[in-house]
Chain A
Amino acid sequence: GENVEQHPSTLSVQEGDSAVIKCTYSDSASNYFPWYKQELGKRPQLIIDIRSNVGEKKDQRIAVTLNKTAKHFSLHITETQPEDSAVYFCAASRGGGADGLTFGKGTHLIIQP
């Protein structure tokens, strides 16, 4: 089955700096790669996703890049703000998610004032 590895497990950045979280996946048939943000005690929220026919996608301060050949994808957050502090999860799936999402272990992003 699919295996998703996520790094780093904890990332501390100064407010205003950029943050990058990286994930690798094992199943070359995976075609959908979402990123979720989970604040303490709250539900995971989809913040951005990318499909395998696209190499990069941006939404304001957030971007995701995908390298299908190397089987890795990354989340980039620019101009970080205190409200960006949370745990971020990457995931991969095939078949539009009908096989279920396989999640990475999560990255605890800490924004230092």
Chain B
Amino acid sequence: KAGVTQTPRYLIKTRGQQVTLSCSPISGHRSVSWYQQTPGQGLQFLFEYFSETQRNKGNFPGRFSGRQFSNSRSEMNVSTLELGDSALYLCASRNQGAYGYTFGSGTRLTVV
């Protein structure tokens, strides 16, 4: 069974640009959540999707958004990039009714 797949693995963007990250969950998993990992703030929850609906959102500005498609694949978008958005963005999926999340390897975003 394939794991959680995130693309691309690495990205370099310029301040002010926007970026879209992609996540394909484990087959059959309908819940997808996103996390930002930085050395200073650690792992912080961005949002969770289930069946194309955002169920919860963390404490991030509106520049951070996401969506989920009917095949459970998810994308997150960050607009008007700032230097502080440089981070590892992790996607995680879980099975309906299950508690444990499986993480992908992440997308390393660098804003210059």
A residues contacting B by CB (< 8 A) are: 1, 32, 34, 36, 42-46, 49, 51, 89, 91, 96-106
By the criterion CB–CB under 8 Å, are B103 and A44 in contact?
yes
B76 CB-CB contact with A under 8 Å: no
Please report the C-alpha to C-alpha distance between residue A34 and residue B98 in the assembled complex, in whole angstroms.
12
Which of B97, B99, B101 counts the most A-chain CB atoms under 10 A from its CB? B99
By the criterion CB–CB under 8 Å, are A34 and B90 in contact?
no
Contact-residue size bin, chain B (C-beta under 8 Å from the other chain)? 20 to 34
Please report the C-alpha to C-alpha distance between residue A104 and residue B44 in the assembled complex, in whole angstroms.
10
What are 9 A-B pairs with beta-carbon distances under 8 A? Answer: A34-B101, A43-B105, A51-B99, A96-B99, A97-B31, A100-B47, A101-B43, A101-B101, A105-B42
Contact partner of A32 (CB less than 8 A), chosen from B33, B48, B97, B99, is B99
Q: Chain B: interface secondary structure?
A: strand
Chain B residue at minimum C-beta to C-beta distance from A106: B42
Q: B residues within 8 A CB of A46? A: 100-102
Q: Chain A: interface secondary structure?
A: mixed
Please report the C-alpha to C-alpha distance between residue A42 and residue B105 in the assembled complex, in whole angstroms.
6
By the criterion CB–CB under 8 Å, are B33 and A100 in contact?
yes
By the criterion CB–CB under 8 Å, are B94 and A97 in contact?
yes
By the criterion CB–CB under 8 Å, are A49 and B104 in contact?
no
Please report the C-alpha to C-alpha distance between residue A49 and residue B106 in the assembled complex, in whole angstroms.
22
Q: B residues within 8 A CB of A42? A: 105
Contact partner of B45 (CB less than 8 A), chosen from A32, A49, A96, A102, is A102
Shortest Cβ distance from residue A111 to the other chain B in the assembled complex, whole angstroms: 22
